[in-house]
Amino acid sequence: MKSPIIFAVLLAVLTGCSSNEPFRDRPDMDEIYEAINPGGAQDTVRLLREGLRARPELGSTEPYYPIRNPDVVAPVWIVPYADKRTGVKHGGRWDYIVVEEADWAD
């Protein structure tokens, strides 16, 4: 009685392993879009660039200066030390400080 049940379970497991994955050799979304709209990706990039040139508040204009400059950050090494009050030893580590705040580009 156990043998047919084990055989049926084993057969079900092996059948599941032999089936194909449903999305294995299928095109992704970019390939489908390119098939429907040939050259659509290049058109999208072109339109975005034209929009940035027409509206500098969106990011950049000719000669492509960034609108916002990032923070200038510097690493600082904290040396290892022992706390005299508790006797706990603290290992060295790196911390980071902001040297210059982010600002708007000139």
Tens digit of each residue's pLDDT (9 = 90 or more) over 65-101? 567 888 999 999 999 999 999 999 999 999 999 999 9
pLDDT, position 64: 62
Residue 61 has pLDDT above 90, yes or no: no
Q: Are 105 and 70 in contact (CB under 8 A)?
A: no
**What integer is the mean pLDDT of 40-56?**
68
DSSP 37: S
Tens digit of each residue's pLDDT (9 = 90 or more) over 2-42? 788 888 888 777 776 566 666 667 777 778 777 877 777 77
Q: At 85, is the secondary structure helix, strand, or coil?
A: coil
